[in-house]
Every structure is written in structure tokens, then in C-alpha cells.
A and B are shown apart, each in its own frame.
Chain A
């Protein structure tokens, strides 16, 4: 069995290693030309009549350099079928590596120039024909994908149509870029600090949560990261739906089902299996990643003992705020997914949905179990001092003793409510699904 496993593992390893070797299949994938049909609305207003291409200065550049539009090429006397020479050595993908070798015209391509100067091959010849100094051409000068498209070229040879938007010819319907784009920003080895000013629970049936979270991520690899996250819910209470059930039909969720999360901390991993890009209104470009995360940690929980009430004492009304009881720290798991939208090298926006899963068993409130509450209730009826009772060590009976000087609320009245919560110990697995929106700084 184990040899089979080892063999299977090696077989699985091979395809991953393959891209490092210039395998034909990979090359084919890169060269596949997809003549884009073009979008009417993505092309700027009708262009001026075709004009000869201004000559481009020969200049080394890491950016994709313009190639010669068809008219210009024809004006420079290369016959049909003559195409630019090989692709830039790295990355741009404008010219696929696997296409048939170009027919180089000596008059167009200086012999001394190696492949990377494709885009400017025709510049010297054009200058010679014109006999004049060529006007300077900006970096985002016209680009033509392929001479095969020469017949269709007139509609895209206008410089305005082919100007680069954020580094790419957004309006050029003839541009054929290789299918797999390089990521614009590398994440590997970088740290990312994220703040989520607002996290809001979206599946609040019996509970509502809102809070703030912070998130640290170390990107071990381009698509894999370690993360640590902390969250504090500055609002956690039972939902209006639960209170409606109590008010109208004398029903409520089990204690375990309405457990509230006060804070949580967890660590885990994050993967970015997908990345993409989009254009907003055909103009602004952005890169995004789909992020998936998972982790485990702990969270502190509480439960509502008594909602906000009005206390009537000697004809005077006092508003008594809601009271919560500590139900302990629980194990917590986390799974989530969302988008990370990157702006420049150092900033990103994150929009995610995370499910905090925690086990909930309510058998103690403020450390007191059912026996403790029974003893407290008996002592309350007899008007005894709680300190003399034989309670469990964790029971914080002080929380159920005394009178609030501001609201004149007698805390002993809450003992019966606490006992109700643990009278029938309940357990549940809660899913606290929240929406997270935040921003990141990468360094």
C-alpha cells in the first residue's frame, strides 16, 4: 500500500514541477491567440482616419513596448505576413513564445538587435522613409497584437484607442494577451496587518453581534499564509426575535443556542486559490484575490440573564440595564472566505464572511452551577448571608447579592433567572457568521 502512496505522490509532484521546464503544453497554453471580439462600448469615440504610426524611439523598457500597426508596417514595405520578431523575454505575454518564427526584414530589424526590441523594429526604417525626425512616442503608444489581424487593424490603430490604461491597452479589442496573467504584486514573504473596524453578524436568529477585529497575516508563499486574529464584540445581545418570542408566546431559545460571544482569538492558515482582476466602468483597474481561511482558538462567552427593565421603587422609576452572566471560555473554530482587493504595493481592502463555530454547553453562570443556585435561592428566602453557604469554589455569589445604589435593583432577584438558565443544561454548536470589512497594510 505504501509504495502505491509514494508513487501516487510522485505522480502528483510531477505536474507541479513541470512548469519550471519549458514544456510544450505550457508553451501552447501561453501562445493561444484569442482574437477578442471587442466591445463597442469599450472602444472610445470613433477615431480619426487612419494615420501613419509615429516612429518610436528605440529604447529599452521593461514595460510592453508598442508594436507596429498594420498600416505603418505596410507603409514601411514589409510584405503581408511579415511580423514582429520574438516576444519580449519576460512576462508581458503580448507575443506568444510558441508562434512560428517571424520573417525578419533586415530593413526593419537591426541585425544587432536581439529579440526583446521587437516593438521598435520598424522605427529606423520609418524614420528613413519619412526623412524627418520622428515625434516622440509615449510609453503607451499603439500596440498591434498580430499581423494576422492586419486586415482588421484600421479600427484599432488610433493612438487613443490603444492608449494604456493603468498599464494595459484596455480599449484595444485586438489585443491578445496570454491567458495567464502575472500577478502585479507579489505577496510571498510579506506581512499584512488588517483592521476590521466593523464586523456584523449576519445570521442572528437568537443573537446579534457587532464588533471590531484585527488580523495579522504572514504570507509564507504566494498562495499560502499563516494568520492570527483577535476580535472583540462591543455589542452582543439577544435578538429582537428572541425577545419577541419571550414577550408574545412565552418561549425562548435554549441557553446554549443564545450564547453570546464577547471576544475571540484564533490562529490558522489562509490560502488564495484564485486571483483575478476587474475594471470598474471600463476605466479603473484593480486586482483581487479570493481568500479562504481556517483556524482554531478560544472565545469568551456570556448569556443574558435579565433584559433591560424598569424598576419601580417607592413611586420612583429606574431603568435597570440588561444583565449578563459569564458562561466561560469555549473552544472556537473559524472558517471563512472573501475577497482581497489590492491597491498598490502596500494597501488592500478585505471583504470577508467568517463563521465562528463554538461549542456551547451552559451548566454554569458566573461560575455557579444548579446546586449553587438552589442554595442561593434557599438562602435568599431565609434572608441568610451568602458567605456562609457551602458553594462551589468557582461560584461568584457576590454578583447575586446586594442592591445597586443607582437603580435600587436587588441583585438577589436575579438568582431565580440564573437558575433557570442552568436548570436544564443545554448544549449546542453555534455558528456565528459575520461580515467583515477592513483594510490592510502590507510590509
Chain B
């Protein structure tokens, strides 16, 4: 037992000592050559891309964005790009929990709508991409990965919908927090219609991103980026419970509704012609 353990430890010591010694040898050959020529030059090329965006953080809504884009690289460092896509969105469990409990909260008869409840669906944006940084990583010692780091900015239009978690126009079961036509009280999925106040609109959207594009040969690339979709919020304040439960419009628009940010981690693939 002890002998075997010693053997294992001896092997470990050898394995650790080898790279250490190698590193010591390498100390003498550190040199000043730190760059090679740009291997990939996207300038003048057209490229198409697809991507999926996942939410970094969810409060009351969650978005999963699917995008396709086309870009033209005017220079190696500058491109114009158009993107369009669809965001699959939903209410989070927290929003559902609030909606169910608030139906029975009789002590709150005047309130404001919650912020940041708009859900983005179809959207299209156009923007510019500036990639001032070109570099490479050493992967597994022998495999270089060339990349560009970029910032992206642009704007466009998006379609939005908003389902209230406060205003239920037809309370089915106040104690259980039911505001839809479900056939079984325990089965939310059996509902074909709900009675929450909903709205929709088309509004301007601004998008900004920072990211990396890793080149794979001349034509392929993998894109990792952090993207923020920004649009103006819009909700009503001073809502009267009696009015909304009677199906009447109530309240007034908030004067300073602020902006809604949807921050996504985007993973994409690009193909350059």
C-alpha cells in the first residue's frame, strides 16, 4: 500500500517537475517577437451569420433571441450589419407567482403596473461593427486561435407585447389566483384564454454589443458577444382595482417610464464569402 502510494507520488512529482524544468529552460529564450501578420482579413467580404441569445439575468420576463444577419466588411476593422430575428419570450416563475398572489391581496386596491414587463418578439436592427483589436490566443500550446474583438451599435424596430400580472379583468378564483379559463385548477396548461390585460406595440429599439469573433479558416467564424437590447418602457400608474376588475381602463401612463434593457449572451456562427 505504502509502496504503491509512493510510486504514485513519485510519478506525480516527475510530472510536475517536467514542465517546471521546461519552463526554466524556456526562460532563456524569451524573445521580443510577439506578433505575426494578420492572417485573416475580412475587409471587402460579405458575411452571413446566425446566432442565439440567452438571457444573462431574468426578472419578470425571459427572452431567447434567434437572429440571422448579413454584414459587409468595408474594411478589416469596420463593417455594416443588419440583423433580424425573433425573440421567444415568457413570464418568469416570479411573475406568475406575483400574479397569483396579488389577486387575493385586498389591502392593495390602488397600485402601479410593474416595470419592464414588455416582451420583445420580432425585431430588426442595422448597425455598424468596429473591430479595432485583432489578436490570437495560444490554445493547447500548438493551436493558435485568431480573433477580432469588436463593439457593435445600431438601432431598428421591434414588436412588443405586454401581459399584466396585476390587472385581471375577470377573476375566476381569487383564492387560487386563477385568471384564465383552465379546465382544471391545478393545470395551467389547460387554459386556452386568459383575462390579464394585454397590450402590444411596435417601437424603436437600440442595440449595442461587445464581443469576439474567432476565425476558423478563411470563411468560418464563431461569435461570442454580450448584447443589450434597449427600448423605452411604457406602463400605467394609479390603477384602481375596482375599475380593472370591472373591465374598465384605469390609471394614466407613467411620466418617466425609463428604459428596459435585455442583456443577452449571444453565441453565433458567421460565414464569409
Contact = CB atoms under 8 A, between A and B. Distances in A.
A93 B31 CA distance: 9
B29 A186 contact: no
Contacts of B76: 39-42
A290 interface: yes
Q: Which 9 A-B pairs have the closest CB atoms?
A: A278-B135, A167-B32, A276-B137, A39-B41, A91-B29, A91-B31, A13-B15, A17-B18, A39-B38
Contact of A279 (B33, B41, B59, B135): B135
Interface string B110-150: 01111100000000000000001111111101111101010
Contact of B27 (A29, A39, A186, A244): A186
Given A16-B15, A186-B27, A181 B33 contact: yes
B37 to A, nearest CB: 4
Interface stretch (A172-180, A302-310, A379-387): A172-180
B39 interface: yes
A67 to B, nearest CB: 14
B135 to A, nearest CB: 3
B98 A251 contact: yes
Interface stretch (B4-12, B82-90, B169-177, B191-199): B4-12
Given A20-B21, A277-B35, A278-B149, A181 B138 contact: yes
Interface stretch (B61-69, B100-108, B152-160): B100-108
Given A167-B32, A274-B138, A279-B35, A179 B144 contact: yes
B37 A42 contact: yes
B30 A182 contact: yes
A64 interface: yes
Contacts of B39: 34, 36-37
Given A9-B8, A182-B30, A241-B59, A36 B43 contact: no
Contacts of A171: 37
Contact of B11 (A10, A64, A179, A281): A10
B201 interface: no
Contact of B101 (A17, A94, A251): A251
Contacts of B15: 9, 12-13, 16-17
B136 A276 contact: yes
A90 B35 contact: no
Nearest to A176: B36
Contacts of A248: 108, 111-114, 166
Interface string A273-301: 01111111110010110100000000000
A182 B33 CA distance: 8
B243 interface: no
Interface string A146-187: 000000000000000000011111111111110111111110
26 contacts: A2-B4, A6-B7, A9-B12, A17-B18, A34-B39, A37-B41, A40-B43, A40-B44, A41-B43, A168-B32, A168-B35, A170-B35, A174-B37, A177-B33, A179-B144, A185-B30, A188-B23, A205-B57, A248-B108, A249-B98, A249-B111, A249-B166, A250-B105, A277-B35, A279-B38, A279-B135
A288 B56 CA distance: 26
Interface in A232-274: 241, 244-245, 248-251, 274
A281 B76 CA distance: 10
A355 to B, nearest CB: 13
B187 interface: no
Contacts of B37: 36, 38-39, 42, 169-175
A17 B31 contact: no
A428 interface: no
Given A93-B33, A276-B135, A179 B23 contact: no
A114 B142 CA distance: 29
B63 to A, nearest CB: 16
B273 interface: no
A214 to B, nearest CB: 27
Nearest to A18: B18
Contacts of B77: 41, 281
B30 A6 contact: no
Contacts of A278: 133-136, 147, 149
Given A2-B8, A245-B98, A277-B34, 15 more contacts: A16-B22, A20-B25, A34-B39, A37-B41, A41-B77, A42-B37, A63-B31, A165-B35, A172-B37, A176-B36, A181-B33, A205-B57, A221-B19, A248-B111, A250-B108
